[in-house]
């Protein structure tokens, strides 16, 4: 559901129109006020749950909140960076 919703929202912010006929969401509507100068480079997803850090088909940069020992978070951060590079074909921010 998250991946489907993320794609719908990102496209709606880019085009000004939300149109979905997916497995979970069916929605036609215009975004008001219309988005101004929105692009993927201006989008950041925030999470502390690893599986929700990204939309696989439309990755955005990720900001992560972490609690506890960072040695547990580093493998997840490295996996995110590897996936970002593979999907976007460029290094992620602050990599």
The full set of domain ranges for the chain reads 1-38, 39-95
Q: With contact defined as beta carbons under 8 Å apart, do 60 and 40 qualify? A: yes
| More confident of the two residues 33 and 95 | 33
Residue 94 CB burial class (10 angstroms; 0-12, 13-18, ≥19): exposed
Q: pLDDT, tens digit, for every residue of 23-81?
A: 999 988 888 887 777 766 667 777 665 554 444 455 566 777 777 788 888 888 888 88
Question: Rounded distance, CA 40 to CA 12, Å?
Answer: 12
């Amino acid at each position: 559901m998250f991946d489907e919703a993320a794609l719908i929202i990102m496209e709606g912010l880019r085009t000004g129109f939300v149109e979905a006929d997916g497995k979970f969401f069916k929605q036609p509507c215009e975004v008001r006020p219309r988005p101004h100068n929105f692009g993927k480079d201006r989008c950041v997803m925030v999470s502390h749950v690893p599986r929700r850090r990204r939309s696989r088909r439309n990755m955005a940069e990720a900001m992560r909140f972490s609690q506890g020992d960072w040695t547990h978070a580093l493998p997840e951060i490295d996996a995110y960076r590897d996936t970002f590079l593979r999907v976007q074909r460029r290094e992620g921010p602050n990599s």
